[in-house]
Amino acid sequence: MGRPAQERARHPADPERSIAALVSRLRKDLSTEVDGLDAALRSDPPVSIRINPRKWRYGPLADPVPWCENGRYLAQRPAFTFDPLLHAGAYYVQEAASMLVEQAVRASGLIGERIIALDLCAAPGGKSTHLRDLLHPDALLVCNEVNGERRSVLKENLWKWGAANVMITGTAPERFGRLTDLFDLVMVDAPCSGEGMVRKDPHALQQWSPSLVEQCATVQRDVLKHAWNCLRPGGFLIYSTCTWELGENEARLRELVDEGGIVIPIPAGGAHGALATDHLGINALRCYPHRLRGEGFVLALVRKAGTREAVNGQPVATPRDLVTELGWLRATRNWMAIQQGDELYAIDGSWARTVDALQRSITVVSPGIPLAERKAGNWRPHAALALAQDLDMERQPTVDLDLDRAIELLRGQSIGAKDASGIALATYRGIPLSWLQGAGTRWNNRWPSHWRIRSARPSAPPVSWST
């Protein structure tokens, strides 16, 4: 009998794509790390999540990730797919080392400011949801992804996270490069050879090869050039990868320094295992799985020379805007409705001119909070509006579902009822999940069909949160 699939993936037949080959390549530049690394890459990865504090105020009583306020380690990997709280955007399953981005954002000093930020390589949305929570609520975050399939996942994750002042775009970095000096903060979580993920994702090891490292370096150089162009003088660029290669990290950052960029050291913020390193004269934080409870990750912060001027958002006069008339959102800001095709979105009126300018120059997939969708000529609340953090729950009748009913809903089934009529909001543990449409003896389901759970219940333990 052959070895189990996971075992085979960890020790693939092609010797170039093995942990041994990877470690021997790293020995040249990172000799002090490789022995510990070799053993760690053959052990099991930790499991961690980041809580959405605006949906799930306290989250589980689990082991905190010291460098991320809302990060938690879990003792084992549960069957996340069968946890309605995951679908409600109450938390995001994220690798712990990558949560160190929080320390880079803090080191930039931009957290309290009303800025324009760009996450240039955003799918599936781990850094975007994290950035959105860290930045000032009035800041605008543009989340971009070039790959169409991955962009759908990004949209799903961001809509479920439910925050305001988030635009989703799908444009090549080159077009952003033409928006000279626009963003105060640009995050480039670059496509990379993925060395740091080989323990967590067997596919990463199968894909890895020295030539992939070279190809990635070429893409990274190009992406960084455009990211740098759209950064304002005095603005900050956060660069990260999940690979240890100098050619995909410090060598690429060196090129920004040659353009006048100033590298800012990032304090590790309680991440005692994260190494503050200086390769090729570039200060970075490097994470190795034998030193820190997480996967491989490299992170750096670079400031563009010059003085940053405050962004001026001019509110657009909206005396009786449609958003107010519809009454679905809390009056937390000066909402303004904009229509894109058969969908209506709510945006913060103070960003209206910026959103308009971006719509003219790049491909905008979602300019704000999805508010309504047109079906058979009529506007009805958008499925993603149910998941918006600013939804006015006081104005909606709610139906709190138990676990089995919530799973039925997530599978696209109707929910049995007595005298169900009108529209109601389905919640799970008090957290909104989906619209329901009353039809007498049942609630019809408005959960989007492409978000449905299609798999059979697995043997992994169910999620049991003790909060």
Q: Does 219 bind ligand SAM (CB under 6 A)?
A: yes
Q: Does 126 bind ligand SAM (CB under 6 A)?
A: yes
> By the 8 A CB rule, do 56 and 91 touch?
yes
The Cα–Cα gap between 349 and 333 comes to 8
> By the 8 A CB rule, do 228 and 261 touch?
yes
Nearer to ligand SAM by Cβ, of 145 and 245: the residue is: 145
Q: Which of 143, 216, 242, 287 is catalytic?
A: 242
Question: In this chain, which stretch among 142-150, 333-341, 363-371, 387-395 interacts with ligand SAM, using CB under 6 A?
Answer: 142-150
Q: Does 296 bind ligand SAM (CB under 6 A)?
A: no
What count of other Cβ atoms lies within 10 Å of the Cβ of residue 47? 18
**Which residue is associated with the tokens 């719509």?**
359
Which residues in the 146-175 window bind ligand SAM by CB under 6 A? 146-147, 150, 173
Q: How far, in Å, are 37, 39, 47, 49, 153 from residue 295 at the CA level?
A: 11, 13, 10, 14, 22
The CB-of-273 to ligand SAM minimum distance in angstroms stands at 20
242 is catalytic: yes
> For 429-433, which contacts have Cβ atoms below 8 Å and span 24 or more sequence positions?
429/84, 429/85, 429/400, 430/400, 431/55, 431/56, 431/85, 431/88, 431/90, 432/88, 432/386, 432/387, 432/391, 432/393, 432/398, 433/84, 433/87, 433/88, 433/386, 433/387, 433/401, 433/406, 433/409
Q: 159: closest CA among 462, 459, 453, 447? A: 447
Q: Does 213 bind ligand SAM (CB under 6 A)?
A: no
Work out which of 12, 60, 137, 191 binds ligand SAM, going by CB under 6 A.
191
456 φ/ψ angles, rounded to the nearest 5 degrees: -80, 155
How would you classify the pairing of strands 423-428 and 369-375?
unpaired
Question: In this chain, which stretch among 29-37, 48-56, 106-114, 119-127 interacts with ligand SAM, using CB under 6 A?
Answer: 119-127
Nearer to ligand SAM by Cβ, of 204 and 372: the residue is: 204
Q: Does 269 bind ligand SAM (CB under 6 A)?
A: no
Q: Does 121 bind ligand SAM (CB under 6 A)?
A: yes
Apex CA 394: angle with CA 392 and CA 397, to 5°?
105
Residue 356 token pair: 């308009």
Nearer to ligand SAM by Cβ, of 287 and 426: the residue is: 287
Provide the mask over 64-103, with x wherever binding to ligand SAM is found by CB under 6 A and - wherever it is not. ----------------------------------------
Contact partners, residue 116, CB within 8 Å, separation at least 6: 139, 140, 142, 182, 183, 184, 185, 311, 354
Work out which of 124, 170, 349, 432 binds ligand SAM, going by CB under 6 A.
124
How would you classify the pairing of strands 297-303 and 282-287?
antiparallel
Q: Does 223 bind ligand SAM (CB under 6 A)?
A: yes
Question: In this chain, which stretch among 145-153, 161-169, 329-337, 459-467 interacts with ligand SAM, using CB under 6 A?
Answer: 145-153
Nearer to ligand SAM by Cβ, of 219 and 322: the residue is: 219
Q: Does 189 bind ligand SAM (CB under 6 A)?
A: yes
Nearer to ligand SAM by Cβ, of 146 and 166: the residue is: 146
Nearer to ligand SAM by Cβ, of 126 and 432: the residue is: 126
Q: Does 371 bind ligand SAM (CB under 6 A)?
A: no
Q: Does 420 bind ligand SAM (CB under 6 A)?
A: no
Q: Does 123 bind ligand SAM (CB under 6 A)?
A: yes
Which residues contact ligand SAM by CB under 6 A? Answer: 121-127, 145-147, 150, 173, 189, 191, 219, 223
Active-site residue list: 242
